[in-house]
């Protein structure tokens, strides 16, 4: 597979058993199904065949009813987002996996300590951080569990920062994009939306969120919420590995999030809501989006072309047929980026997608002109 320059790096943060490895196996595995490409118009490719096979074998176990085993090493996966009939992927998605226990226990020896520091450095150099709140624990323990996860995460981030700075290798650019994702959303009541969860968590953890924004150096922390699930589970068993929630939204959420944050900064206007609302609000800010390059931190310039090609004037209300046709035409002309953007908009259009994502108003814009 030829390499493309543009890549979106995604880091999942979450303690042991929060669902990181299952998400990755389901993300890749489900996209290898013939039906997926037919329905969605694209699929994921993988550069490293043995990594792909590792993921597939975990996914096949899920098809047989078993979730993956716990993770004991760091792994990096590099996927290509390849639209049907194009020869090359339009962009890359880099995703890391590692033992969640590394957030919770002290390293057993110096070599593990070194491996952890390198992992955390990789994670914190990503474009987007997704902090997992284990939906099963949240169901059982409610807000107390979120308090625990937020405190633990804040302390770990501070420790890592100090540790890397102490080594003379401070991280200069933390992820600016953050999503709080409720994993195992298949076991939440059907009528709960990302907006409900956002409102509840924000109201219950306001002070903590303020501390976290400072720790990760991003005003965006605590603004974006997602529901996510790798499969329909029951107890410790998978009962349907094809029934995932939110996974296909991750790449578009990150790209749209970068665009939204820039648009807010440039215009001092609020952009919030589910996807359809975000597109509507961004349309009003089209002029300012031209200046986006001046506002993108250096590491985000890797995806600048993709973000500028989001064609915001074509809001999601144009409908499915419109974006399908756009995708087909872009493929015929060999326009990789336009084809990928149309494919991602098709993902964002469904009512399930509106249900699974919500962006709230950011507090620092409270006094801005809505």
Ligand X SMILES: Nc1nc2c(ncn2[C@@H]2O[C@H](COP(=O)(O)OP(=O)(O)OP(=O)(O)O)[C@@H](O)[C@H]2O)c(=O)[nH]1
Number of DSSP helices (H) and strands (E) in the chain, helices first: 16, 10
Residue 77: helix, strand or coil by DSSP? strand
Pick between residue 136 and residue 338 the one whose CB is nearest to ligand X. 136
Residues 21-50 that bind Mg ion (CB under 5 A): 21
Partner whose binding site includes residue 127, from Mg ion, ligand X, none (CB under 5 to 8 Å by kind): none
Residue 56 touches which member of ligand X, Mg ion, none, C-beta under 5-8 Å by kind: none
Judged by CB under 6 A, the chain residues 3 through 42 that form the site for ligand X are: 14, 16-22
Among residues 21 and 205, whose Cβ is nearest to ligand X? 21
Helix axes 194-204, 143-166, angle to 10 degrees: 70
Reported in sequence order, the residue ranges of the chain that DSSP labels E, i.e. its strands, are 7-13, 42-46, 75-83, 91-97, 128-134, 177-183, 224-227, 232-234, 237-240, 357-359
Residues 66-105 vs Mg ion: string with x where CB under 5 A? Answer: -----x----------------------------------
Residue 256: partners with Cβ closer than 8 Å, 6 or more residues away = 275, 278, 310, 348
As a whole number of angstroms, the distance between CA 313 and CA 179 comes to 25
Q: Which is nearer to ligand X, 187 or 352 (CB)?
A: 187
Alpha helices in 176-285 (DSSP H): 194-204, 206-216, 250-267, 275-283
Over the window 269 to 298, marking each residue x when it contacts ligand X by CB under 6 A and - when it does not, the resulting string is: ------------------------------
Among the listed residues 29, 89, 99, 175, the single contact to ligand X using CB under 6 A = 99
Residue 220's binding partner among Mg ion, ligand X, none (Cβ under 5 to 8 angstroms by kind) is none
How many residues of this chain interact with ligand X, rule: CB under 6 A?
A: 23
Who's near 213: CB < 8 A, 6+ residues apart?
219, 221, 222
138 contributes a contact to ligand X by CB under 6 A: no
- Site track 224-263 with ligand X (rule: CB under 6 A), x = hit: -----xxx-x--x---------------------------
Residues in the interface with Mg ion (CB under 5 A) total 3
Determine how β-strand 177-183 pairs with β-strand 128-134: parallel
- 183: three-class secondary structure by DSSP: strand
Give the binding site for ligand X (CB under 6 A): 14, 16-22, 67-68, 70-71, 99-101, 184, 186-187, 229-231, 233, 236
Site for Mg ion, rule CB under 5 A: 20-21, 71
């Amino acid at each position: 597979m030829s390499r493309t320059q543009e890549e979106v790096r995604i880091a999942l943060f979450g303690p042991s058993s929060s669902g990181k490895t299952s998400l990755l196996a389901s993300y890749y595995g489900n996209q290898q199904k013939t039906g997926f490409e037919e329905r969605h118009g694209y699929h994921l490719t993988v550069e490293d065949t043995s990594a792909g096979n590792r993921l597939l074998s975990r996914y096949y176990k899920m098809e047989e009813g078993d979730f993956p085993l716990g993770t004991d090493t760091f792994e990096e996966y590099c996927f290509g987002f390849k639209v049907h009939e194009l020869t090359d992927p339009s962009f890359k998605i880099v995703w890391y996996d590692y033992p969640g226990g590394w957030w919770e226990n002290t390293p057993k020896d110096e070599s593990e300590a070194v491996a952890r520091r390198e992992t955390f450095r990789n994670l914190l150099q990503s474009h987007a951080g997704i902090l997992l709140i284990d939906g099963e624990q949240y169901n059982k323990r409610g807000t107390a569990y979120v308090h625990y996860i937020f405190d633990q995460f804040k302390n770990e981030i501070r420790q890592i920062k100090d540790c890397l700075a102490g080594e003379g290798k401070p991280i200069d650019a933390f992820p600016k994009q953050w999503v709080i994702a409720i994993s195992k959303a298949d076991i939440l009541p059907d009528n709960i939306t990302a907006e409900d969860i956002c409102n509840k968590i924000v109201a219950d953890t306001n002070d903590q969120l303020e501390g976290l924004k400072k720790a990760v150096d991003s005003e965006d922390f605590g603004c974006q919420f997602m529901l996510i699930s790798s499969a329909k589970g029951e107890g410790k068993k998978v009962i349907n590995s094809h029934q995932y929630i939110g996974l296909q939204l991750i790449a578009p959420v990150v790209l749209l999030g970068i665009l939204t944050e820039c648009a807010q900064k440039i215009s001092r206007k609020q952009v919030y809501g589910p996807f359809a609302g975000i597109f509507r609000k961004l349309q009003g800010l089209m002029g300012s989006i031209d200046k986006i390059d001046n506002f993108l931190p250096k590491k985000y310039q890797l995806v600048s072309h993709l973000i500028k090609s989001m064609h915001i004037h074509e809001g999601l209300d144009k409908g499915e047929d419109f974006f399908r046709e756009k995708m087909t035409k872009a493929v015929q002309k060999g326009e990789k980026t336009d084809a990928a953007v149309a494919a991602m908009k098709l993902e964002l259009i469904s009512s399930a997608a509106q249900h699974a994502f919500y962006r709230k108003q950011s507090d620092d814009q409270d006094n801005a002109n809505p």
